Amino acid sequence: MKKLLFIVMAVLLLLTSFLGQVRADELMDMFSIRVIIEADEEVYQWKYDSPDYYEFQHEDRVLRDEEAKTQVDNMAVLINVNENVKAETLAERIKEEFPKLESMDIRWRNGDSELYTWRWKKNDQPVEES
């Protein structure tokens, strides 16, 4: 029984290591990203600049570097930006975690330094720029 428990724990440890690496690889494809949302009458911000600047802000609370990395990684995985995604799609993805989303502003600079911007506000037309 102990042997089986050990094997299960080892497999879980390997899987979590792999998932963390996948998230890090996704961010490495980005030069920078800025996500600002308003939900529940509160403001949230996520920032990443290559190679290793992370920042997360919620109201007056600011986390940087390793403290913010998990927050930024989770948002990057949630929104999964790319050159072809639409603002409405990004808003729907964010609503999975923030159902009372009022507005969003996402700015992404890809590995080729091309800037993409998506803006969405409840009851307005979405804006997409590249």
Average pLDDT along the chain, 130 residues, taken 10 residues at a time:
54 51 50 97 97 95 96 97 96 98 97 94 85
pLDDT at 127: 80
pLDDT at 29: 56
pTM of the model: 0.75
> 64 φ, ψ to 5°?
-130, 160
DSSP state letters, 75-103: HHHHH---TT--HHHHHHHHHTT-TTEEE
pLDDT at 129: 82
Beta 53-58 vs 30-39: how paired, if at all?
unpaired
Would you list the domain boundaries of the chain? 32-121
